Amino acid sequence: MGKWSRTFRIWHWLFALTFVFMSTTVLVRKTVMGKDQASIIITQNLQNLNIDISKDDAVLLARKLRTPLWQWHIWGGYLFAILVAVRLVLISTHSGKRNYQNCDEKSLHKKMVSGVYISIYTFAFILTITGLGIKFDEEIGISKEFKSFLKETHEFTFYLMLPFIAAHIGGVIIAEHRNEQGIISDMINGGKREK
């Protein structure tokens, strides 16, 4: 058996792809499909057809155009929530806990690596809880004020998580070129279990 089980590797890549997908929906919604930007494009194109539209109506149409992105984000969020729950279960497996075992014996570098992983998983948990709270606010009786707090926390946590993901990716690339050759392929094929 390899040091990374098939289940853990599948989880890892699904988690990464789901995060990238959801981040893309946010990026597109906030840039090219931003309601203000899209409403300007709608207004200009309708004026070319000699159709006048108010700014409020153009913003309303822009929001309607963005609805599929929001729905994709929600569907991705459901998968993300499932993956976070699966990760909690995987903590008890060899692959799932190998970064957290024997911390007292680890070098400062390995302790920092563990800290990055723990931070990513903590942020992922917060994103899951806040995202589900935003989505099911009415069903669980969340006030408008608290929903607003959840939205701010959700967005802030997302931006807080990004440098830790960048640190993870950068650290893996550096490790691959220094003293841990094969670290990337190990997460694909499982690698050889350490003794």
Q: Which pLDDT does position 94 carry in this prediction?
A: 65
Return all residues near 160 (Cβ < 8 A) that are at least 6 apart: 123
Digit-by-digit pLDDT tens for the chain (195 residues) are 457 788 888 999 999 999 999 999 999 888 878 777 788 888 888 888 888 888 888 888 888 888 888 899 999 999 999 999 998 888 877 666 666 666 667 677 777 888 888 899 999 999 999 999 999 999 999 999 999 999 999 999 999 999 999 999 998 898 888 877 777 887 888 777 654
Give the pLDDT of residue 190: 75
pLDDT at 1: 44
CA distance linking residue 177 with residue 89, whole number of Å:
32
Residue 4 identity (one-letter amino acid)? W
Q: Could you give the CA distance from residue 51 to residue 82 in angstroms, rounded to a whole number? A: 47
Whether residue 178 contacts residue 171, with contact meaning beta carbons closer than 8 Å, is answered with no
Distance of CA 10 to CAs 80, 112, 128, Å?
13, 24, 20
> What pLDDT does residue 34 have?
78
Phi then psi for 34, rounded to 5 degrees?
Answer: -60, 140
User: Could you tell me the fold of the domain covering 6-189?
Assistant: Fumarate Reductase Cytochrome B subunit (1.20.950)
Q: What's the CA gap between 133 and 151, in Å, rounded?
A: 9
Rg of the chain (C-alpha set): 21
Q: Which of 97, 171, 165, 168 is nearest to 127 (CA)?
A: 165
**Residue in the block written with tokens 């929530």:** 81
Please say whether the beta carbons of 186 and 4 come within 8 A: yes
Whole-number pLDDT of residue 99? 62
Q: Read out DSSP for 125-192?
A: HHHHHHHHHHHTTTTTT--HHHHHHHHHHHHHHHHHHHHHHHHHHHHHHHHHHTT-TTHHHHHHH--P
User: Containing H/E element for 123?
Assistant: helix 108-135
Contacts of 80 (CB under 8 A, 6+ apart): 15, 18, 19, 22, 124, 127, 128, 131
Helix (H) or strand (E) holding 80: helix 55-90
pTM beyond 0.85, yes or no: no
**Domain coordinates of the chain in residue numbers?**
6-189
d(CA 69, CA 194): 43
